[in-house]
Amino acid sequence: MIRTLTGLALAGWVLVSGCGSPLPNTIEILSDPVSVVATSTFEEQIGMYQLRVAHGDRDWTLRSFVPGAGRSGGLDAAALAIALQQRVVWQAPYLFVRESHEERRGWRSTVDHVFKLGSAGLQRVGTVAADTATPGSQLRDGRFRDVYDRLEFTFLTSRPQAPRFTLVMLERDSRFEVDPEATWREGESDFRERLRELEHLAQRAEPLTAERDQRHARGLALFCLAFSRYCERDTEFAAAEAGARKVLEDFESLLAEAQTVRPRELAPSSEEVFRANPALLNLFGESPAPRTSEPASSEARPIAPTGIGLTPL
Mean pLDDT, rounded, of the chain:
81
Please give the average per-residue pLDDT across 18-31, as a whole number. Answer: 74
- List CB contacts of 17: < 8 A, sequence separation 6 or more: 23, 69, 70, 71, 73, 74, 75, 76, 77, 80
Q: How far apart are CA 35 and CA 298, in angstroms?
A: 14
Mean pLDDT over residues 85-107, rounded? 89
If you count them, how many residues does the chain have? 313
- Give the closest residue to 26 by CA, choosing from 5, 52, 57: 52
Write down the pTM of the prediction.
Answer: 0.81
**Which range has the worst mean pLDDT, 36-50, 59-73, 223-237, 284-298?**
284-298
What ranges in the chain are assigned the alpha helix state H?
A: 77-85, 180-202, 211-230, 234-247, 251-258, 270-276, 280-284
Q: Has residue 71 got a pLDDT over 60?
A: no
Q: Show me where the domains of the chain are located.
A: 9-149+284-311
166, amino acid identity: T
What pLDDT shows up at residue 28? 93
C-alpha–C-alpha distance, residues 171 and 116, integer Å: 9
98-141 pLDDT, tens digit each: 998 776 678 888 999 999 999 999 999 999 999 878 999 999 99
pLDDT digits (tens, 9 = 90+) for 146-181: 999 999 988 888 888 899 999 999 999 999 999 999
pLDDT of 11 above 80: no
CA–CA gap between residue 21 and residue 19 (Å, rounded):
6
